[in-house]
């Protein structure tokens, strides 16, 4: 979350919870959470910032799902 705080104005952050991978495998549990932020960026800029964070954690979109260390998902709601 520290990486997100540096780039976006985080308004709220949910609790974090663990879930098992699907399909079941011997990989580590997933840690899930949601953050709400306000900003004036266009959706393309938000996606670019999230992809930069993934690069810091060395996420490769060519890895199989069970090898991922970090996956950021963005849902943009315009008000």
Question: What is the secondary structure of 9-37 as a DSSP string?
Answer: EEEEEPPPEEE--SS--SSPPEEE--EEE
Q: Where are the domains of the chain?
A: 2-67
The answer to whether the peptide bond before residue 74 is cis (omega within 30 degrees of 0) is no
CA angle 41, 55, 3 (to 5 degrees): 55
Spatial distance between the Cα atoms of 6 and 10, rounded to a whole number of angstroms: 9
- Per-residue confidence (pLDDT) for residue 75, from 0 to 100: 66
Query: Which pLDDT does position 79 carry in this prediction?
Result: 63
- The pLDDT, as a whole number, for residue 74 is 66
Q: Which residues of the chain have pLDDT under 70?
A: 59-79
pLDDT of residue 31: 82
């Amino acid at each position: 979350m520290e990486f997100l705080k540096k780039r976006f104005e985080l308004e709220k952050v949910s609790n974090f919870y663990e879930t098992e991978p699907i399909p079941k495998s011997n990989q580590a549990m997933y840690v899930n959470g949601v953050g709400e932020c306000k900003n004036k960026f266009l959706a393309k800029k938000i996606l670019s910032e999230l992809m930069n964070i993934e690069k810091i954690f060395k996420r490769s979109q060519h890895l199989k799902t069970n090898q991922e260390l970090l996956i950021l998902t963005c849902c943009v709601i315009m008000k």
